[in-house]
Amino acid sequence: MLEVEHNHISSKGCLCTDDTRRCTDFRNSGPLFSPVSRWPLAEASGNHPTRRENPSRLLQFLLALVFTQRNFYRTLLRNDPDIPKKDTVYRFSASPRYNWRRLLLMTSVAIAQGLGTLVSPDRDAVFMVDDSLFDRSRSKKVELLARVYDHVEHVYRKGLRLLMLGWSGGTTFLPAAFSLTSEQATNRLQPADPRIDKRTVGYPRRRESCQKSPDVVLQLLGESQAAGLEARYVLFDSWLAFPRLLRQIVQDRNLHVVAMVQAMKTVRYTYEGKRYTLKELYAHVKKRPGKARILAVVAVPRSGSP
Q: How far apart are CA 80 and CA 306, in angstroms?
A: 64
- Domain identity same for 267 and 251: no
- Answer yes or no: is 137 within a domain: yes
Whether residues 14 and 90 share a domain: the answer is yes
Same domain for 233 and 291? Answer: no
Residue 145: predicted pLDDT: 96
Whole-model pTM over 0.85 = no
Residue 109 within a domain: no
Residue 1 pLDDT > 80: no
Q: Are residues 125 and 248 in the same domain?
A: yes
Q: Note whether residue 290 is domain-resident.
A: yes
pLDDT value at position 5?
36
Q: Are 89 and 73 in contact (CB under 8 A)?
A: no
In a domain, 70, yes or no: yes
pLDDT, the chain, mean: 81
Max distance between CA atoms of the chain, in angstroms, equals 76
Structural domain range at position 158: 116-259
pLDDT over 90 (residue 126): yes
Cα 78–chain centre separation: 34
Residues 6+ apart with CB under 8 A from 149: 155, 156
7-64 pLDDT tens trace: 333 333 334 444 333 444 555 555 555 555 554 444 555 555 444 667 778 888 888 8
Average pLDDT over residues 154-181: 93
pLDDT over 70 percentage in the chain = 81
Q: Which of 106, 123, 98 is nearest to 226 (CA)?
A: 106
Domain count, the chain: 3
Return d(Cα 156, Cα 146) in angstroms, integer: 10
Tell me what the mean pLDDT of segment 206-234 comes to: 94
pLDDT in tens, 77-121: 888 888 888 888 888 888 888 888 998 898 899 888 888 777 777
Is residue 245 packed enough to be buried (19+ CB in 10 Å), middle (13-18) or exposed (0-12)?
buried
pLDDT for 33 equals 58
* pLDDT given at position 20: 32
Residues 165 and 300 in one domain: no
Q: Are 227 and 183 in contact (CB under 8 A)?
A: no
- For residue 40, the model assigns a pLDDT of 43
Whether 219 and 141 share a structural domain: yes
Q: Report the alpha-carbon distance of residue 55 to residue 260 in Å, rounded.
A: 43
